[in-house]
Amino acid sequence: MLWRRANDPFAGSWALPGGPLRETETLGASVARQLASKVEVADLAHLEQLETRSDPARDPRGRTVATAYLGLIPADLDPALPDDTAWHPVDALPTTAFDHGSIVGSALARLRAKLSYTNIGFALAPPTFTITELREIYVAALGYDVTATNLQRVLLRRGVLEPTGQLTAPGPAGGRPASLYRFASPSLQVTDPFAVLRPPSARPA
């Protein structure tokens, strides 16, 4: 989620929502204020501190130290955005202000790593979903294909998912209803500290 800057420096460029930290404000309170005032996002399914940027040349106005956060919302939410704000694919970002494109890259790397060894998928998925729907979310976040069968097997074995006992409604073309699942916990947990989800190996020519 990026918003187009109205003022210099980088007027007209896209940027991550953010701003100065007030004298009596915590970092968490500042994140909530910036999101609410600039992009009208009131609630995040997950928020964690990502990194601190301290390159003296990152802001042409002078030395500015910035602390970046990774915030996630479920795929089924579509928050109302102001006219100067829009979603952008992480693999096709426009030119960004400051070092914000690099920060997005760091956030994506963090998310992909945590999808391997935690249950962070809970912050991207709706409350209930089919395995096929969950696979689409994981594929979009990871950037490579995973099979629904393997994803279901791995997450069930780790105790990340649990069946709801419900089925999807039959579609207009009929077909077998799919089972609905949910994440067992709505908070971040390390489920396998040594796990790594790797892209499929390239086949030899």
Give the single-character DSSP code of 190: B
Question: Could you give the dihedral angle defined by the CA atoms of residues 128, 38, 27 and 189, in that order, rounded to the nearest 10 degrees?
Answer: 10
Q: Which of 44, 197, 188, 194 is nearest to 118 (CA)?
A: 188
Task: Give per-residue pLDDT as tens, 45-78.
Answer: 999 999 999 999 999 999 999 999 999 999 998 8
- Per-residue pLDDT 10s for the chain (205 aa) are 999 999 999 999 999 999 999 999 999 999 999 888 877 677 899 999 999 999 999 999 999 999 999 999 999 988 888 899 999 999 999 999 999 999 999 999 999 999 999 999 999 999 999 999 999 999 999 999 999 999 999 999 999 999 999 999 877 766 789 999 999 999 999 999 877 666 766 544 4
pLDDT at site 205: 43
SS3 breakdown of the chain: % helix, strand, coil, rounded to 5? 30, 20, 50
- Averaged confidence pLDDT in the chain: 91
pLDDT at site 170: 78
Strand partners of residue 71: 47
The two tokens of residue 69 are 């956060």
Domains and CATH numbers, the chain: 2-98 (3.90.79.10), 118-183 (1.10.10.10)
Listed in order, strand segments (DSSP E) in 89-169 are: 161-167
pLDDT at site 203: 46
Task: Give per-residue pLDDT as tens, 154-175.
Answer: 999 999 999 999 999 877 766 7
